[in-house]
Structure 1
């Protein structure tokens, strides 16, 4: 009997190839990497003008971005009309820059930036810090993937490619925090956090378990902003053009200002169920951060800024509780979803708040329904 031929796929992730195991090619994180908690990365296929859309995969750690296989300007999939192959000018990047200049006023922190550091100023800084320029182009492409009908896959592919290129460039330089690098490093970390929040909460693929894995990766990376502002660096940054942006944190209510009725009731419920004092302390700090966001919104503070601040304020230990699927931790996440839901018209969030509330409810089951009554009121 003739031997059955086997067609070998070459589209598996880098980690599975290295380990010589069969990859199920599930994106953005394959099943093998989810179960073994490894960094999953897919190499983009060779460019083809006539074909194929590459499903994006997102790097989630500063130190583990995979090497770029080509320059973003060299790799094109399904090029837009008017794009000439071999042209000395990459019209896609011109389009992305134009989108930054045209639409960035609608993005987060735009008002604070306009009083000290505009997006055109960022572009000028980016010419000396290519990782920042690539990150600006990446978030512009992500914005277009959501706001431009019929081009979702095309722009998201390039958003991911530019993000990975920015991470690789940042890691290869390993810039030291000083007077020359403090501004581009801080802006890079902030824009990267915004990019990953949107990419995670809007582009949901696979199961809720898979989403939680990606959300945990996002939270851990976003909190890298703390590293940049730690050890007295905040005061150093406040002497730069970033001062109008940094005063945002000073306008937020204090973490010690006490609970309102909603957060107070949530904490009392958790206090009555949680016997571990260390975990209870983590939950209290997380709900305090939630209260800060609620108070800021009720005080007519910029809602989007407050929503993006919450992932930075929460404790890394709370992120670990999400990773271990603790019910109380997921309930708090649903409360955050209730705060996000009113901003569903903004491109960064879309229907992410509704998704969090509905998915947490389904995941935890009927036994937790009373815990989730308040988040559900946001949907009615």
Structure 2
């Protein structure tokens, strides 16, 4: 006759002694019946584990949080004009529910906003949301790439919007240093960003008629009206910016001069023609962005720079062409201004200027090209970085104008001469110590002391 299997003689919540002896505990202690009968000391119980929602339930709630956040807050960071509100808040979530790559792209974008800006509901740790964003963006990108060979009038609007969300995600990820490990530096991310923006522009160019109809029609009409208005409105650029653009124009004209090769060489002539086209179109584009932004008719003109500069600029940037990087440094100034309005741009422009200016300062062109280092200094001051090589009196005035909003009425009280240095006195790139201290502790002083009395 078969023996019956013995019944299980343990419990999940027994005392430590019973667990150690592998016997069933009646869980009535301490002490429990077993420990009392044997006179054992140390009858104690492990604390109950914290109750956790099942993974699927947690994810469902997180996604509800992300969708709610998009519809009440995040969408506003993409609004250029009031007419954008209706379709970004109402139509985008509906499109996303019908297109998985767009849904996951939205979730990635919102999760990054929570990770960088706070006000989370489900988890207080921002890293949780940044990792969630990476997961969703990976899924979205794979699904989007699968659709790229099948862009149609029916899905063009959704593809266009995902490609723009991808731009925002890439800019935002560059600001997550310290939360997750990155393999890309800012220059590599800049090239990837350029390619994303060119892809976005390609969809817009091919399906322009589709994009300006339907949900986007009111926004398109409003943009066209504002564009016609801005042609009649004079630009209002700060004098320092106008001077920087004049120097940039002279640098571009010098850079497109033939490089001492025989003019009869067809290959050399072709290279010179391409270089001339790239540099001039890019300069025209960056100047236009500065001018449009100064008119304040709509936000975000800087994002249009890659499309206006043209597709040929990308390969020059990939090759680390110094003039292409110099132009990108000026775009970084524009993005820095936009970053004060849009969280997803944030410090991306400043990071661009910091990395590019360090490379360009040491470039051979720096010593041979008038205005080269002056524009690097201008760009660094514009994005609130310490100038390389100190500052001249004119740059000191520019620095004061940038810092004035931070200091209020105390701006005029800062001592002038002690922290001023000439460029020639610091050709090795050494920072002026007093200026470095001034910049580093500026916000601390503002917070801790009454600078009006200082």
| TM-score (norm: length of structure 2) | 0.58
Q: How far does the alpha carbon of each residue in 1:292-324 deviate from its partner, in whole angstroms, 9 at most, with x for none? A: 211121101333x21222233332221222211
Give 1:227's aligned residue: 202
The farther-off stretch of 96-105 and 149-158 is: 149-158
Give 2:76's aligned residue: 106
Q: Work out the CA distance in 2 between the residues paired with 1:297 and 1:340.
A: 11
Compared CA separation, residues 203 and 112, structure 1 to 2 (3 A): farther
Structure 2 unpaired stretches of 5+: 1-50, 258-271, 367-371, 385-398, 400-454
1:161 corresponds to 2:127:
no
Larger Cα Rg: Structure 1 or Structure 2?
2
Match of 2:321 among 296, 321, 326: 326
Q: Work out the CA distance in 2 between the residues paired with 1:161 and 1:207.
A: 14
What is the deviation of 1:137? 0.9
Aligned length: 296
What is the deviation of 1:88? 8.0
Q: How far does the alpha carbon of each residue in 1:148-205 deviate from its partner, in whole angstroms, 9 at most, with x for none? A: 2863322111112111211222333457344432322222222222222332466599
Q: Work out the CA distance in 2 between the residues paired with 1:273 and 1:290.
A: 17
Compared CA separation, residues 223 and 196, structure 1 to 2 (3 A): same
What is the deviation of 1:364? 2.1
Give 1:18's aligned residue: none
Q: How far does the alpha carbon of each residue in 1:330-369 deviate from its partner, in whole angstroms, 9 at most, with x for none? A: 1111111222223444412222222222222211234352
Q: RMSD value over aligned CA atoms?
A: 3.2
1:283 corresponds to 2:279:
yes
Give 1:91's aligned residue: 61
Structure 1 unpaired stretches of 5+: 1-80
Compared CA separation, residues 115 and 109, structure 1 to 2 (3 A): closer
Instruction: Compare the two structures and name the one with the higher helix fraction.
Output: 2
Compared CA separation, residues 163 and 330, structure 1 to 2 (3 A): same
1:341-380 matches, cutoff 5 A: 341-345=336-340, 346-366=342-362, 367=366, 368-378=372-382, 379=384, 380=399
Match of 1:142 among 89, 112, 116: 112
Q: How far does the alpha carbon of each residue in 1:98-149 deviate from its partner, in whole angstroms, 9 at most, with x for none? A: 1101213531226445455132321112222121111111110111111128
Give 2:434's aligned residue: none
Kindly indicate whether the alpha-carbon contact (under 8 Å) linking 1:105 and 1:111 is maintained by their aligned counterparts in 2.
no
Q: Work out the CA distance in 2 between the residues paired with 1:248 and 1:261.
A: 32
Match of 1:307 among 295, 302, 309: 302
The farther-off stretch of 175-184 and 133-142 is: 175-184
Compared CA separation, residues 151 and 301, structure 1 to 2 (3 A): farther
Kindly indicate whether the alpha-carbon contact (under 8 Å) linking 1:104 and 1:110 is maintained by their aligned counterparts in 2.
no
Q: Work out the CA distance in 1 between the residues paired with 2:216 and 2:170.
A: 22
Greater RCO (CA < 8 Å, at least 6 residues apart):
1
